[in-house]
Amino acid sequence: MPRTDNSLRQLDAALSSLSDPNERAAELVSFLARLDIADPPATRAHRATGGNTAGAPSLSGLPFDEHGLNRLVVRHGISPSVYCTALGRQDGRPEVILDEAPCAFVNPATRDECLKAGSRVCGGCRLVKYCSKRCQKKHWQLHARDCKDPIRSQDWQPAWVEPDGVRVPLFATGLVGMHPLSHGLPLWGRNPAMDILNLPADVAATNPDINLAFIASGDLRNVVRTVNGLPADYAGKLTILLNDEDDYITARNIILLQLLANILDKRKAADVALHFWYSAFIPEEYHTEILAVTSALATGGTARVSTKLGARAQLESEISQDMRMLCLATILCTDLYGTADAADELTSVRFHPLRHDLHHHRYVRCEPAHRLALLKYRRCGLVLPFGAHNARFNTPNRFLFSPDGRWLQSDTADPLDCWDIEEVVASGKAHGTTREDLYGCLYFHVSDQLRAFADRLARYDVSFTISTADPTELAPLIRLGMLADIGVPATIRFDRIDAASFADRNREGAADVLGAWGRFLRNDTQATLLAQFVDWPMFAEGGFPAGEALDEATREAFAAGRIPVPNPRELRDPRAHRDAFAKMIAYSDVPCAVHDGSAAFDQHLEKQGLSAALRRAGLQRRTEHIIVPHRHCARLGAAPSALPEFTDEESWYLQSNIGSATWTERCIEVCRAGPEDTPAAAGPTTSDEGSCRIA
């Protein structure tokens, strides 16, 4: 058996002597079969807090540099799928892809685990499932650590409620946003994914071609949601422009698209993409798939990437030298930090002593089981069902850490914020998990979305063009024909332009951004530019309720049961009374949900000169939206002054207490100017007929 780095040199020589790819793959499989891989020690991020870590079999036990083997595989052009298959044969483990909630039983000491689906829910926490009473009983000693975690106790108190009194929580001082951990790259975004087309199936079917622009795209969630909103048999031509000036975000988007396209098994492709997108640690074999795509980006000799994503799907992208260097650094950093280092970094960021108040601000409003689900994700950073066996997630996700091993995002970044929470929970239930298992629900929801998206990539006539310009500079570049060679001619016009929140944060103001991009709308009053505004209340009078408006909104929130009232027992016990009222500060944003800030928002936009800019560009705002509501959870088509609506108490709880809405977010729709009295139709057309209701 190979025992030194000399074995890698021997493998290199053997592979070099072979010209047939299949023979090289067979030699690799034979080489790995001769190894005796030992188990590495568990790290802090992968200890069996709930008994779901079975000993982490991985290449970390190789008798030589594991990254050297990865580089050999890439250099000799061996398919990552073949490599991963060889690893699977070696460790004898089942795949990590899940279609339903698993039985949670695993014994790390004996590496015994149950591979059946779960059917019995733990009656205590309702976070894990078992296939039988026998498995549940065998697992109890380990699961009890989770099931009896103090955070699930009815007596749990947030950090600002101390034994000798109540202090002012740090999030109420205004200092939280100044802390470095409040900042980071926005790799996941802050708002739920939205379908920027929102077309009825019959309307979509009649459109021979649709052009979409995401000018400050961030991640791919809006793209995935929009493409999946089209009929599965859509036969038109779909053109998508993706632009983001951040190299990390752009590289991640390119890699994710290529993973979905390159891995033939679309079930596996979706799983690799999901964990690349959201999990802090991934299986070694997934890392190999990602490494192959990243290596191609790092070593390409041109300033462009042109690749097929499907039979009729194409990707064209600008690749700057900076992005190539970033990809190269991400490959080489495997020698700079390992799993234990990444786990320690994640812990130091997410459990910083000055940030406990901020995390507990969310926990206070959650049910005990949801507090535990949030805490577990904070500990391990894995998007998996609570009872999933996570032993194979033993490799840092190099695109969520910097080349020197630093966490790239804020400490509160959470993929749960990126999708509609009610849809997430519904997806989880459809796959057999419980509403308490938040990240299990998220796993199944995103998996469904990515599988559907990968299927469409394989069948649609779709072209992606990816650029890395500042959105304010991109518009004139297109107008001058500077992007024509990557598929964006100066004559292009779009059915939808998603400006995300760029107009909100742009120093030059919303007027310049929307005015410049509105000119690229198709000559059709149904073509629409969408823009989100998140931070505007900080710069506008009346954005947040104050004075009498705050008093009225607070009374309404209490009357509707949106803010909990202490029960009679708590009112009689001085300490319980104190603690109950101390928790109410965590509900300070609730009055915003019953406050109409539309007038203040309009005044804010007017001060930025939006109306004049739109008139100059021949554009106008819709008052009656046809794509997305004016604000989160409001009814589509309702007036700008309409308040959020909730179907029941569960809807309110999920959206307000689990979701990340601040209830001041606003969205506008901008369209071509047309006859004001013509009703708005429901989708892009190729004529000038139709109109939008204007502001």
Confidence of residue 418 (pLDDT cuts 50, 70, 90): very high
* pLDDT above 90 for 571: no
Q: Number of C-alpha atoms within 13 angstroms, CB side, residue 627? A: 29
* pLDDT above 90 for 361: yes
Give the residue-averaged pLDDT of 341-369: 95
Distances (CA, A) of 359 to 126, 178, 373, 411: 22, 16, 13, 9
- The runs of H, that is alpha helices, within 245-338 are 247-262, 266-278, 284-299, 321-332
Residue 214: helix, strand or coil by DSSP?
strand
**What is 354-388 written as a DSSP string?**
GGHHHHHHHHTTS-HHHHHHHHHHHHH---S-TT-
**Per-residue pLDDT tens digits for 155-198:** 899 999 988 888 888 888 877 777 888 889 999 988 999 999 99
Residue 315: helix, strand or coil by DSSP?
strand
User: Phi/psi of residue 276, each to 5°?
Assistant: -60, -40
Q: Is the CB of residue 98 less than 8 Å from the CB of residue 383?
A: no
Round to whole Å and give the CA distance between 670 and 473.
Answer: 20
DSSP β-bridge partners for residue 162:
165
Amino acid identity, residue 286?
Y
Higher pLDDT, 365 or 73: 365
Q: Is the CB of residue 154 less than 8 Å from the CB of residue 468?
A: no
What pTM value is reported for the model? 0.86
User: What pLDDT score does 398 carry?
Assistant: 96
79-93, 482-496, 553-567: segment of lowest average pLDDT: 79-93
Give the residue-averaged pLDDT of 510-535: 90
Of the candidates 385, 446, 395, the one whose C-alpha atom is nearest the C-alpha of residue 52 is 385
* pLDDT above 60 for 676: no
Round to whole Å and give the CA distance between 462 and 449.
Answer: 17
User: What pLDDT score does 506 carry?
Assistant: 64
* pLDDT above 60 for 679: no
Residue 267: helix, strand or coil by DSSP?
helix
User: What pLDDT score does 35 carry?
Assistant: 58
Confidence of residue 76 (pLDDT cuts 50, 70, 90): confident
Confidence of residue 63 (pLDDT cuts 50, 70, 90): low
User: Phi/psi of residue 25, each to 5°?
Assistant: -60, -40
Provide CB contacts within 8 A for 87, sequence distance 6+: 32, 59, 284, 285, 288
Round to whole Å and give the CA distance between 417 and 59.
Answer: 34
16-30, 77-91, 382-396: segment of lowest average pLDDT: 77-91
**The two structure tokens encoding residue 190:** 């802050």
**Apex CA 132: angle with CA 126 and CA 134, to 5°?**
105
User: What pLDDT score does 14 carry?
Assistant: 86
Of the candidates 591, 585, 582, the one whose C-alpha atom is nearest the C-alpha of residue 172 is 585
User: What pLDDT score does 520 carry?
Assistant: 96
Measured in whole angstroms, the distance separating CA 673 from the mean position of its chain's CA atoms is 35
Cα-Cα end-to-end distance for the chain: 76
User: What pLDDT score does 5 carry?
Assistant: 65
**Per-residue pLDDT tens digits for 467-495:** 999 999 999 999 999 999 999 999 999 99
Round to whole Å and give the CA distance between 477 and 140.
Answer: 62
Return the number of other C-beta atoms located less than 10 Å from residue 110's C-beta: 9
Round to whole Å and give the CA distance between 446 and 644.
Answer: 25
**Per-residue pLDDT tens digits for 619-662:** 999 999 999 999 999 999 999 999 999 999 999 999 999 999 99
Provide CB contacts within 8 A for 684, sequence distance 6+: 197, 199, 207, 210, 495, 496, 522, 524, 526, 527
Higher pLDDT, 411 or 512: 411
> β-strands 461-467, 237-243: how paired?
parallel
Round to whole Å and give the CA distance between 679 and 526.
Answer: 11
> β-strands 237-243, 112-113: how paired?
unpaired
Q: Is the CB of residue 212 less than 8 Å from the CB of residue 240?
A: yes
Q: What is the dihedral of CA 335, 340, 343, 348, to 10 degrees?
A: -100
Provide CB contacts within 8 A for 55, sequence distance 6+: 39, 42, 108, 111, 391
Round to whole Å and give the CA distance between 346 and 344.
Answer: 5
Q: What is the dihedral of CA 352, 340, 395, 185, to 10 degrees?
A: 30
**Per-residue pLDDT tens digits for 578-624:** 777 788 889 999 999 999 999 999 999 999 899 999 999 999 999 99
Of the candidates 311, 310, 307, 312, the one whose C-alpha atom is nearest the C-alpha of residue 292 is 307
Q: Which helix (H) or strand (E) holds 673?
A: none
Q: Which helix (H) or strand (E) holds 598?
A: helix 598-607
Of the candidates 230, 293, 211, the one whose C-alpha atom is nearest the C-alpha of residue 257 is 293
Looking at the chain, the whole-number percentage of residues with pLDDT higher than 90 is 65
User: What pLDDT score does 51 carry?
Assistant: 46
**What is 641-672 written as a DSSP string?**
TPPP--SSHHHHHIIIIIS---S--EEEEEEE
- The runs of H, that is alpha helices, within 480-597 are 502-505, 510-518, 548-559, 568-572, 574-583
